[in-house]
Amino acid sequence: MSAAPLLWLLCAGGAAAWGPFLREDMRPKVSERRAQTPGEIAELPQGRTHFRWYGEPGNPVLVCVHGLTTPGYVWSRAAPLLADMGYHVLTYDLLGRGWSDRPMGAQDAQFFTTQFSDLLEALDIEGPVTLFGYSMGAAIASAFAAERPERIEKLVLVAPAGMGGYPTGLIRWMRDAGVSGKWLFNLLYPWLHGRTARGGIAEGVPEAKARMQAQEPMWRGFTPAVLAALRGILRDPQELEHRKIAKAGLPLLSIWAEEDQAIPLDGMGVLSRWNRASVSKQVPGAGHWLPLSHPEELVRAYRSWLWEDGEI
């Protein structure tokens, strides 16, 4: 074989090998869209963090933590309802998502709890807060509550990860497959994510929010952040954390989506074994997009729990 065809084959092979990573590096930076940010930016040690308040300052603080791929706007329908209950509601974007910075590297529990702790300090939030966590956000909230129970008034986990059983199938294989899994994840995940996001419309997600969610992989750092969290905070069940929460006596409510195709409902039984004082409720007809598709039902489940505890 002559030198020219051999060189062409080597170049083609290199392009195939590095293509998914080069495409990721060529995506626009999230800083290019911050002019449209519907909130504020906190300068934290790990990176700039986007946050937004709902409700009246001076009211008890309630913080909402979003999931693996859905930025803080996943709470945009539920947060005003929680504010109407008399809370000052804080939502924010986890690093690697939404309008927040995209640092590279591992995304284990400490990565996320440090961001949360730094945000509380930056915003001068001193007393105990009510903490809502959705999907992966529930795993983050649980890790923080186990580490700092004195900072938590009540813990509410919505369609919660952390009890095992997620992810499954191809996503699980890519998570566990080392460099080859990383290559395939960078190649396939933007398309898989867009398909899943657009499918939320059929579950009751407003079309505008579904479109926003489908576009997240177009921004640099999102896809690597998702894989880093799958290989980090979402890799192992949180039995130790939940047993610490139980020992601390923190009030804990878990709210589950009856038609959830992402988080197995048998997690309810797992959580009950780890924390027998926890309370579980289900939202009939809801899928995994619960905060966007069924915000009224979600807040009603929380209110009914407070009513049962004699707090309202």
- pLDDT tens across 220-255, in order? 999 999 999 999 999 999 999 999 999 999 999 999
- What's at 36, amino acid-wise? Q
* Cα separation values, 150 from 47, 65, 128, 261, 309, Å: 26, 18, 7, 34, 20
Indicate if the pLDDT at residue 15 is higher than 60: no
The C-alpha atoms of residue 70 and residue 262 are separated, in whole angstroms, by 14
Share of the chain above pLDDT 70, in %: 93
What are the structural domains of the chain? Answer: 38-165+233-308 (3.40.50.1820)
Per DSSP, what are the bridge partners of residue 61? 88
Which residue has better confidence, 18 or 212? 212
Going by their DSSP bridges, the two strands 88-92 and 47-54 should be labelled as antiparallel
The C-alpha atoms of residue 80 and residue 103 are separated, in whole angstroms, by 30
Going by their DSSP bridges, the two strands 47-54 and 40-44 should be labelled as antiparallel
pLDDT of residue 7: 38
pLDDT of residue 20: 81
Q: Which residue has the tokens 């999907």?
A: 135
Average pLDDT, the chain: 92
- Mean pLDDT score, 186-208: 94
pLDDT band at 178 (very low <50, low <70, confident <90, very high): very high
Share of the chain above pLDDT 90, in %: 86
The C-alpha atoms of residue 272 and residue 267 are separated, in whole angstroms, by 8
Q: Which residue has the tokens 């009246």?
A: 56
- Mean pLDDT score, 183-196: 95
Indicate if the pLDDT at residue 128 is higher than 90: yes
Helix/strand/coil for 133: strand
Would you say how long the chain is, in residues?
312
Taking residue 121's Cβ as centre, other Cβ atoms within 10 Å add up to: 12
pLDDT band at 9 (very low <50, low <70, confident <90, very high): very low
pLDDT of residue 3: 53
pLDDT band at 21 (very low <50, low <70, confident <90, very high): confident
Per DSSP, what are the bridge partners of residue 53? 90
Compute, in degrees rounded to 10, the torsion defined by CA atoms 173, 178, 182, 188.
-20
Q: Is the peptide bond before 237 cis (omega within 30 degrees of 0)?
A: no
pLDDT of residue 281: 97
What tokens appear for 149 in the block? 């129970």
pLDDT for 36-89, tens place per residue? Answer: 788 999 999 999 999 999 999 999 999 999 999 999 999 999 999 999 999 999
The C-alpha atoms of residue 197 and residue 296 are separated, in whole angstroms, by 21
pLDDT of residue 16: 54
Write the DSSP assignment of 252-274 as a string of letters. Answer: EEEEEETT-SSS-TTHHHHHHHH
What tokens appear for 123 in the block? 């915003």
At residue 132, φ and ψ (nearest 5 deg) are -100, 135
Task: Give which of 68, 25, 20 is closest to 219, Cα–Cα.
Answer: 25
Indicate if the pLDDT at residue 125 is higher than 90: yes
Q: Which residue has the tokens 């309008």?
A: 99
The C-alpha atoms of residue 135 and residue 311 are separated, in whole angstroms, by 26
pLDDT band at 13 (very low <50, low <70, confident <90, very high): very low
The C-alpha atoms of residue 234 and residue 136 are separated, in whole angstroms, by 7
What tokens appear for 206 in the block? 């407003």
Task: Give which of 264, 221, 242, 289 is closest to 109, Cα–Cα.
Answer: 242
Indicate if the pLDDT at residue 312 is higher than 60: no
- What's at 112, amino acid-wise? F
pLDDT of residue 36: 78
Indicate if the pLDDT at residue 310 is higher than 70: no
Compute, in degrees rounded to 10, the torsion defined by CA atoms 80, 140, 59, 84.
20
- Mean pLDDT score, 269-277: 97
Distance between alpha carbon 298 and the CA centroid of its chain, in Å?
Answer: 17
Helix/strand/coil for 54: strand
pLDDT of residue 5: 47
Per DSSP, what are the bridge partners of residue 158? 134, 255
